[in-house]
Amino acid sequence: MENFILGFFDFVGNLNFDMLGTFLSFVLVIFWLVLIGWVWIDSGERTSKKSIRITYLLLVIILNIPGLIIYLIIRPSETIEEIYWADLERRYLKFETSELGDCPKCGSQLFPGFVFCTNCGFEIKKKCPSCGMLINKDHKHCEYCGTQVRERAVGEEQYPNAQVMEQQVLASKEHATQTVESKRTKYKTGSSFAVKLGSGILALLDTTKTKLNSKTKAVEIEQVIVNKDSEQTNKGKKKKKNKKKKRR
Ligand SMILES: [Zn+2]
Ligand SMILES: [Zn+2]
């Protein structure tokens, strides 16, 4: 009787273990298939090139989860739609805010329609010699009659291609950084009270948590580099501003 019961438990134990193994491998196969399907759909939102999508797919088919991690690292960071809408939004906002800005001379805020700075009298727009309309001082041609009003570098006259657009995106990023981090800034700075408090606490804990300390040091170095960059960009501010206006 005892032997029979022990045998029965052995049988149940073996059976459950086998079933568990089968069940687990079944779940793994399903997971693998879902993974492959997801990578195919996700890559389709990021690139239209079939060959690249198939490469991503092979990565996950062969390497499974490590392949997925590699895919997540190397896939394009934005979907095609995100790129499209971000670019459209950027250009639209640029148009909308083209008359908003600060006086190049005294820095007071300008509003749409201003011809002179209300604070220092700096001339913001000038009359077109041909049609007499008020035009942007940096435009090459009058926007109302097309008369050429100033010379411009030949390189900037080409029709915007992907490279030019990328440069524009970079330029607006630089402009954003420069605007936000400059000393005359009216914007809040990137480092909030919480960041300052956090780095203060980390500085106190430097004896015990050397790892964390080295991280903040790296951040500090980054900040120094950013500051240097903004100093340099400030030096070339006038030049760049002119360039940007020309691009419009
Ligand atoms: Zn002014
Ligand atoms: Zn004109």
Q: How far apart are CA 91 and CA 248, in angstroms?
A: 10
When the pLDDT of each residue in the chain is averaged and rounded to a whole number, the result is: 77
Residue 236: what pLDDT? 47
Quick one: which ligand is closest to 144's CA?
2
Share of residues in the chain with pLDDT > 90 (%)? 26
What pLDDT digit, counting tens, does each position of 24-36 carry?
A: 999 999 999 999 9
CA–centroid distance, 103 to ligand 1, in Å, is 5
Q: How far apart are CA 80 and CA 46, in angstroms?
A: 5
Quick one: which ligand is closest to 123's CA?
1
CA–centroid distance, 234 to ligand 1, in Å, is 18
pLDDT at 42 over 50: yes
Quick one: which ligand is closest to 134's CA?
2
pLDDT band of residue 235 (cuts 50, 70, 90) is very low
State whether ipTM is beyond 0.85: yes
Quick one: which ligand is closest to 140's CA?
2
CA–centroid distance, 115 to ligand 1, in Å, is 11
Q: How far apart are CA 209 and CA 231, in angstroms?
A: 33
Mean pLDDT of 3-28: 78
Quick one: which ligand is closest to 124's CA?
1
Mean pLDDT of 74-99: 88
DSSP the chain: -HHHHHHHHHHHHHHHHHHHHHHHHHHHHHHHHHHHHHHHHHHHHH---HHHHHHHHHHHHHHHHHHHHHHHHHS-SS-HHHHHHHHHHHHHHHHHTTT-EE-TTT-PEE-TT-SB-TTT--B-EEE-TTT--EEETT-SB-TTT--B-S---GGGGSPP-HHHHHHHHHHHHHHHHHHHHSTT--SPPSS-HHHHHHHHHHHHGGGT-HHHHHHHHHHHHHHHHHHHHHHHHHHTHHHHHHHHHHH-
pLDDT at 141 over 60: yes
What pLDDT digit, counting tens, does each position of 92-137 carry?
A: 998 888 888 888 889 898 888 889 999 999 998 889 999 999 988 8
Strand-pairing partners, residue 116, are: 123
**Ligand 1 (single-atom ion) residues, CB below 5 Å:** 103, 105-106, 117, 119-120, 122
Contact present, 160 and 173 (Cβ < 8 Å): no
Residue 188: what pLDDT? 60
pLDDT band of residue 40 (cuts 50, 70, 90) is very high
Report, in angstroms and rounded to the nearest whole number, the Rg of the chain calculated over CA atoms. Answer: 30
Quick one: which ligand is closest to 101's CA?
1
List the structure tokens of 126: 């000038």
CA–centroid distance, 118 to ligand 1, in Å, is 7
pLDDT band of residue 17 (cuts 50, 70, 90) is confident
CA–centroid distance, 104 to ligand 1, in Å, is 7
pLDDT at 243 over 50: no
Residue 185: what pLDDT? 59
Contact present, 198 and 207 (Cβ < 8 Å): no
Residue 152: what pLDDT? 66
CA–centroid distance, 179 to ligand 1, in Å, is 17
CA–centroid distance, 238 to ligand 1, in Å, is 15
